[in-house]
Amino acid sequence: MAQFRTCPDTGLYFHKSAESLIKANAVVGAVFLLVAGILALLVTLTRWQAIHLLPADQFYMALTAHGIDALIFWIIFFEMAVLYVASSVLLRCRLATPYWGWVQFALMMVGSVMTNVAIFQGGSSVMMTSYVPMQAAPHFYLGLILFAVGALIGCFVFFGTLVVAKDEKTYEGSVPLVTFGAITAAIIAVFTIASGAIILVPTFLWSIGYISHIDAEMYRIIWWGLGHSSQQINVAAHVSIWYLIAGLVFGARPMSEKVSRAAFLLYIFFLQLASAHHILVDPGVSSEWKVFNTSYAMYLAVLASMIHGLTVPGSIEVAQRAKGLTNGMFEWLRKAPWDNPVFSGMFISLITFGFIGGITGVVMGTEQINLIIHNTIYVPAHFHATVVTGTTLAFMAITYFLIPVLFRRQMILPGLAKIQPYLFGGGMSILILFMLGAGTMGVSRRHWDMDFTGAALGFDYPGIAYTMMGIGAFGGVIGVLGGAAFLLVTVGSLLFGKKLEPSAGLLQSFGVPLAASCYSSTKPEILPMAPPLEHHDTTSFEAPGTFVLALLLLVSFVVYYFINWKYLASVWPLS
């Protein structure tokens, strides 16, 4: 009989096996965040030319490990936890086949450790993309493959749990919006991992000598079906978390279930075309293919993100106005709980993802504009705005909620927790904005030395490019401090926080269940539908402040987009 625990503070139900898996995945994710953060510091201090910390070989090793540990291992371990929360916890349902959940965890552990061993042995400094024909050690690829198989199993445990919930009627009506978003993430994950398997399995066989040749261009196109689409898993996951936090903190309901769900559906249909973003200046691929794919078929996935950009803050505004915060355009926002890291983290994530990550992504994903951006440091600047201040900060924000609820520990250092999202989001935004600037000046990504020491022929970047890299790196250091503050608060809480439940010890933080008396085998009450709206006026502007913010986003977008066309028009004619 399935064992459940009710959280006395929130009323959420935790299935015993699901709870352990959520904890284990989240904690291991945080360990990889720690490793990735240390590596981030080394990388950023090396690219700060005045410091230039690491020698070339160690820099490329650290950069390879940083990319893989942060972008793959931290985020996907945490996403496994998110999937189990969105299915088992939100639907009050037992987790399907917990045994397979542990297989997921074990495979991902073995794979992530194996790939890290390969990298730190030194023979696999091939960057996260591992472009052929540069070759890594076989266990570099094998680790990634095992990790991906684990993640795939996790997705199917999630799907299985949805089936169980439906079958056992644990909820009324349709699944909640947050779960719908998680389903989107999991569906995208499945075809992403399929792309990964199609290219990484042959590459592994090539590394052990069973296949003689992998076409370099074919590798790029298929690998990016993994590499970029996997970022769309993150988008779907962190947008779901935005909605979740809006509900948790404000009691917000979606402005329109239909609109928000349709936007998620657009992600499923179109996001996987983004492989093209990396192929725009490649040989042998036609302009028609590039234009169609890079635009996600006429930017329909961008449309989806623009919709969420309105409906997430809009739902908060509606909830705040219902509480009487109706003065002017922005009282609802001014009087939001800015000292609650769950909210501030989420809102900074929303703003930086939209204004910086989203706009720069569309600009550099424009077929011709990519000519002036491809492989410059503009590219990592863009994706730090999406996956660091976007995804990672959203995951940090929800972690603050989970510490007392899931781990049953009171948070320590609340003062530090209050400023942490600002420290992390602010530092990373400095890094991002100045890296965007340096990229516009042509500074290369994945490059150890912008002085080109030892080169037969030289080239001098303008002095301003050095200044920008320096200021950016300074912001990076602040960002790392913000990341350290997060780990200090969260890990410190697990170790030293007041126990909200006497049996919540150290081992419990890693997935051992709480005392048996916490659980009961009574089936949770059926999850009811949301209470009906008293009135729904479709003609009025329910969230005017949000509409102004959305128009501000649009204007920034339009101006910045055409500035880049203007810049492109100044370079040599090419055809």
Q: Of 360-379, which residues contact other proteins (CB under 8 A)? A: 362, 366-368, 370-376
Place of tokens 């999850």: 527
531 binds other proteins (CB under 8 A): yes
381 binds other proteins (CB under 8 A): no
Q: Minimum distance from CB of 140 to other proteins (Å)?
A: 15
**CB neighbours of 463 closer than 8 A, spacing ≥ 6?**
none
How far apart are the C-alpha atoms of 450 and 51, rounded to whole Å? 12
* Contact track, other proteins, 311-340, x by CB under 8 A: x--xx-------------------------
* Contact track, other proteins, 499-528, x by CB under 8 A: ----------------------------xx
Residue closer to other proteins, measured from CB, 337 or 462:
462
Cβ(233)–Cβ(185) below 8 Å: yes
Backbone dihedral angles phi then psi of residue 408, each to the nearest 5 degrees: 55, 45
Cβ(461)–Cβ(442) below 8 Å: yes
Site for other proteins in 44-63 (CB under 8 A): 56-57, 60
Residue closer to other proteins, measured from CB, 276 or 431:
276
One-letter-per-residue 3-state SS of 440-509: HCCCECCCCCCCCCCCCCCCCCCHHHHHHHHHHHHHHHHHHHHHHHHHHHHHHHHHHCCECCCCCCHHHH
Give the range of 35-43, 231-239, 387-395, 567-575 binding other proteins by CB under 8 A: 567-575
Q: Minimum distance from CB of 411 to other proteins (Å)?
A: 21
**CB neighbours of 554 closer than 8 A, spacing ≥ 6?**
none
212 binds other proteins (CB under 8 A): no
Site for other proteins in 19-38 (CB under 8 A): none
104 binds other proteins (CB under 8 A): no
Cis bond before residue 133 (omega within 30° of 0): yes
Give the range of 30-38, 284-292, 409-417, 515-523 binding other proteins by CB under 8 A: 284-292
Residue closer to other proteins, measured from CB, 209 or 284:
284
Q: Which residues pair with 499 in a beta bridge?
A: 409
306 binds other proteins (CB under 8 A): yes
Residue closer to other proteins, measured from CB, 57 or 167:
57
Q: Minimum distance from CB of 155 to other proteins (Å)?
A: 20
Residue closer to other proteins, measured from CB, 168 or 282:
282
* Contact track, other proteins, 462-491, x by CB under 8 A: x-----------------------------
The amino acid at residue 380 is P
Among 248, 348, 381, 411, binds other proteins (CB under 8 A): 248
Q: What's the N-to-C CA distance of the chain in angstroms?
A: 68
Q: Minimum distance from CB of 296 to other proteins (Å)?
A: 9
Helix (H) or strand (E) holding 6: strand 4-6
Give the range of 239-247, 320-328, 349-357, 490-498 binding other proteins by CB under 8 A: 239-247
Which value, in Å, is the radius of gyration of the alpha carbons in the chain?
23
Question: Within 10 Å of residue 287's Cβ, how many Cβ atoms?
Answer: 10
Site for other proteins in 532-551 (CB under 8 A): 532-533, 536-544, 547, 550
Among 106, 167, 208, 217, binds other proteins (CB under 8 A): 217
Q: Minimum distance from CB of 473 to other proteins (Å)?
A: 17
Alpha carbons within 13 angstroms on the beta-carbon side of residue 98 total 16
Question: Within 10 Å of residue 523's Cβ, how many Cβ atoms?
Answer: 15
Site for other proteins in 162-201 (CB under 8 A): 171-179
564 binds other proteins (CB under 8 A): no
Q: Minimum distance from CB of 430 to other proteins (Å)?
A: 23
Distance of CA 1 to the CA centre of its chain: 35
How far apart are the C-alpha atoms of 395 and 398, rounded to whole Å? 5
Question: Within 10 Å of residue 411's Cβ, how many Cβ atoms?
Answer: 21
Q: Report how far apart, in Å, the C-alpha atoms of 82 and of each of 28, 114, 208, 371 are.
A: 13, 24, 36, 37
257 binds other proteins (CB under 8 A): yes
Give the range of 104-112, 136-144, 309-317, 472-480 binding other proteins by CB under 8 A: 309-317
Among 84, 141, 243, 395, binds other proteins (CB under 8 A): 243
How far apart are the C-alpha atoms of 339 and 417, rounded to whole Å? 9
Closest C-alpha to 474, from 414, 433, 510, 525: 433
300 binds other proteins (CB under 8 A): yes
Residue closer to other proteins, measured from CB, 173 or 415:
173
Backbone dihedral angles phi then psi of residue 105, each to the nearest 5 degrees: -65, -45
307 binds other proteins (CB under 8 A): yes
* Contact track, other proteins, 405-424, x by CB under 8 A: --------------------
Q: Report how far apart, in Å, the C-alpha atoms of 30 and of each of 25, 392, 428 are.
A: 9, 11, 18
Q: Minimum distance from CB of 172 to other proteins (Å)?
A: 6
120 binds other proteins (CB under 8 A): no
Closest C-alpha to 229, from 196, 254, 264: 196
273 binds other proteins (CB under 8 A): no
Count residues near other proteins (CB under 8 A).
119
353 binds other proteins (CB under 8 A): no
How far apart are the C-alpha atoms of 230 and 309, rounded to whole Å? 21
Residue closer to other proteins, measured from CB, 211 or 216:
216
How far apart are the C-alpha atoms of 272 and 290, rounded to whole Å? 13
446 binds other proteins (CB under 8 A): yes
Coil/strand/helix, residue 286: coil
